């Protein structure tokens, strides 16, 4: 494959940006769209991109070698903006007589983060306007371990900022005002490795408190949620590297929380330089270059833009599987994302650990609430026919229960065991209990029997939505960790249908929840 600089064009939303990238960045030029008021207006943004794209291309190419390929942001993003960029990229590729490469915008954020950090196999927190995702590589794809169930973190901040009359984008101004604030309680919504921001936005808009206190508390709450689900992904996968990418990654408080969490987990942490964090042409050009080297080019007829293009739909042909297992030794021990398990005299002591990255008041509240709720719901689940450990004692941060010497389901996945897991969850949901963290680490297998543990995020609900979210968490874990995910999901569904009358309604809702993450 011919080597040389690749021209990359980014224009998924607010920023029209182009770059030349060879072994390193040669030139980067950006001309962002700035709305007069409110958020991004797609057609206005597209008109802006159309008006500046010629001058941006001229500035990038002037005095530099001709590109050996043209890469462009194929999606996800705003349709009108994507079409401007796609048309320009096709014309330039034909003009130069070079290959055309369609780049997934989300994957480009990941790849420029890997380039900047030098990390080989990191977990990635991608935090931007429309996106909040925790990703990792497995078997030829970037798998999404967890994501927002409603709106992205950047859009959540912008919605709150607009309600307070703050300029767009809202993130920098909220961060500035928050420096003088004090903590007030706001809704904290984490569901396994997924999270939701709508309740937080609504509560922040209506909060009867000084603006600096609300801004401060909004950040403390939202970023603690992001950090918690990211830590859960590190624990689940056993990986020991983390990178933060996306425009919201510029926020110093978010960086500090993640750095603190990684320090406590002995994990390496990296954030790219600011010019690589927001939407930029350099990430498209760099990713296009590694794709070119792997032979991932497009015929013109396959270059249609895709506003709903998911990171986990991309065949990652340019990466090799890690040489060593992704499993970290501690994954087999007694340390999880939230608690330490100590064994003594055939009893397990689950001790919730204080998190230095969280505000102390929020930390105390979550530990106390989750410990009480877990103890109560473990007992209720047993009454519903779900095999759980027997509890003998509880305190504000500790639950003492019978020791279960099982192996995690993630270590022995099979259709037979997933079918039994389906029956267990069916019984649980029929008793109007949602687990909240249905990962394959929270099912233990002992002597052919299955146990369900870790009810720290559990609650009671008869709503189809909550049950659907519960199963969505498990299905995401299967998709992100197993090549046999479809077979395992089918087995789970068989077992689930045996135990709950509304199974088909719940499974239909789970599919709807999945589609929400596909930018529809």
> Taking a C-beta distance cutoff of 8 angstroms, is the pair 481, 440 a contact?
yes
Structure tokens at 414: 């099979």
160 CB burial (10 A radius; 0-12, 13-18, 19+): buried
C-alpha to C-alpha distances, 462 to 429, 432, 455, 492, nearest whole angstrom: 8, 5, 17, 20
* Alpha-carbon gap, residue 179 to 97, rounded angstroms: 52
Q: Residue 123 in 3-state DSSP?
A: strand
Q: Which residues pair with 28 in a beta bridge?
A: 19
Identify the residue whose tokens are 């990191």. 122
What's the chain's Rg over C-alpha atoms? Answer: 24
Q: Which residues pair with 71 in a beta bridge?
A: 8, 101
> Taking a C-beta distance cutoff of 8 angstroms, is the pair 292, 205 a contact?
no
* Alpha-carbon gap, residue 435 to 458, rounded angstroms: 4
Q: Residue 462 in 3-state DSSP?
A: coil
The catalytic position among 158, 240, 437, 470 is 437
For 374, phi and psi rounded to 5 degrees?
-60, -45
256 assigned to active site: no
Q: Residue 347 in 3-state DSSP?
A: strand
* Alpha-carbon gap, residue 90 to 305, rounded angstroms: 11
How far does Cα 438 stand from its chain's mean position? 16
Catalytically annotated residues: 437
């Amino acid at each position: 494959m011919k080597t040389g600089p690749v021209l990359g064009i980014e224009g998924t939303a607010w920023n029209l940006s182009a770059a030349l990238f060879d072994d390193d960045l040669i030139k980067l030029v950006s001309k962002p769209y700035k709305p007069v008021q409110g958020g991004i207006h797609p057609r206005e943004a597209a008109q802006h991109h159309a008006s500046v794209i010629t001058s941006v291309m001229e500035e990038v190419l002037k005095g530099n070698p001709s590109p050996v390929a043209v890469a462009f942001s194929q999606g996800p993003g705003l349709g009108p903006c994507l079409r401007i960029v796609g048309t320009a990229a096709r014309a330039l590729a034909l003009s130069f007589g070079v290959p055309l490469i369609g780049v997934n915008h989300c994957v480009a954020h990941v790849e420029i983060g890997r380039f900047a950090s030098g990390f080989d196999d990191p977990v990635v927190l991608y935090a931007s306007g429309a996106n909040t995702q925790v990703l990792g590589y497995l078997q030829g794809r970037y798998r999404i371990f967890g994501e927002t169930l409603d709106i992205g973190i950047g859009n959540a901040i912008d919605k709150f900022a607009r309600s307070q009359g703050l300029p767009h984008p809202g993130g920098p101004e909220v961060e500035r005002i928050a420096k003088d604030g004090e903590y007030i309680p706001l809704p904290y919504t984490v569901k396994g490795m997924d999270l939701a921001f709508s309740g937080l936005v609504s509560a922040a808009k209506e909060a009867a408190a000084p603006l600096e206190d609300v801004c401060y508390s909004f950040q403390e709450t939202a970023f603690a949620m992001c950090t918690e689900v990211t830590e859960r992904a590190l624990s689940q996968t056993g990986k020991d590297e983390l990178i933060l990418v996306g425009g919201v990654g510029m926020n110093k408080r978010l960086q500090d929380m993640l750095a603190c969490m990684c320090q406590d987990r002995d994990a390496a942490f990296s954030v790219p330089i600011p010019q690589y964090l927001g939407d930029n042409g350099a990430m498209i050009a760099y990713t296009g270059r590694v794709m070119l080297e792997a032979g991932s080019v497009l015929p013109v007829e396959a270059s249609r833009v895709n506003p709903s293009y998911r990171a986990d739909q991309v065949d990652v042909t340019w990466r090799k599987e890690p040489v060593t297992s992704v499993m970290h030794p501690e994954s087999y021990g007694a340390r999880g994302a939230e608690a330490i398990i100590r064994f003594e005299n055939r009893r397990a002591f689950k001790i919730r650990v204080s998190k230095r990255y969280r505000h102390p008041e929020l930390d105390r509240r979550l530990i106390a609430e989750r410990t009480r709720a877990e103890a109560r719901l473990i007992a209720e689940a047993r009454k519903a026919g779900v095999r759980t450990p027997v509890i003998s004692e509880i305190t504000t941060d500790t639950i003492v229960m019978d020791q279960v010497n099982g192996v995690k389901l993630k270590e022995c996945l099979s259709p037979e065991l997933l079918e039994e897991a389906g029956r267990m969850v069916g019984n649980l949901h029929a008793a109007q209990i949602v687990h909240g963290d249905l990962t394959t680490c929270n099912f233990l297998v002992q002597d052919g029997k299955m146990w369900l543990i870790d009810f720290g995020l559990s609650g009671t609900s008869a709503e189809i939505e909550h049950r659907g979210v519960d199963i969505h968490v498990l299905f995401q874990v299967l998709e992100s960790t197993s090549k046999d995910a479809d077979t395992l999901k089918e087995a789970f569904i068989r077992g689930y249908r045996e135990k709950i009358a509304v199974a088909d309604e719940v499974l239909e809702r789970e599919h709807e929840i999945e589609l929400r993450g596909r930018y529809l």
